[in-house]
Amino acid sequence: MDAEKYSRSITLLCPTCGSTDLTDQGADDGAQIAVCSSCGLEINKDDLISENSENIAAHVKEIGQEISRDFAAEIRKSLREAWGGSKYFKVK
């Protein structure tokens, strides 16, 4: 299975206005800060990820389902190739 097929980029949203136009800025203490271009909200990147956790979880679930389907298809294909010509085993 190709792992690149399951790579995704998830767009994070501003928790205040829902904008996707966020810019990165470094803080004096080394923390990563995202600034919303629409409403001006300054938020720590960890907090931004936490605020977008439902969106991230939905993407993770979707990827998990896709991997499960592909894995089952790969196993079926492998079994058909291994036992397809046998008169003692039947693969559906």
| Model confidence pLDDT, tens digit, residues 8-53 | 899 999 999 999 999 988 666 667 899 999 999 999 999 999 999 9
Asked if residue 1 is part of any domain, the answer here is: no
Asked if residue 6 is part of any domain, the answer here is: no
Shared domain for 20 and 46, answered yes or no, is yes
The number of domains in the chain is 2
Asked if residue 65 is part of any domain, the answer here is: yes
Mean model confidence pLDDT for the chain: 88
Asked if residue 20 is part of any domain, the answer here is: yes
Domain assignment of residue 77, given as a range:
60-86
Q: Would the pTM count as exceeding 0.95?
A: no
pLDDT over 70 (residue 66): yes
Asked if residue 47 is part of any domain, the answer here is: yes
Which helix (H) or strand (E) segment holds residue 49: the answer is helix 45-51
CA distances from 3 to 63, 65, 70, 71, 76 (A): 11, 14, 11, 12, 19
Asked if residue 72 is part of any domain, the answer here is: yes
Shared domain for 66 and 39, answered yes or no, is no
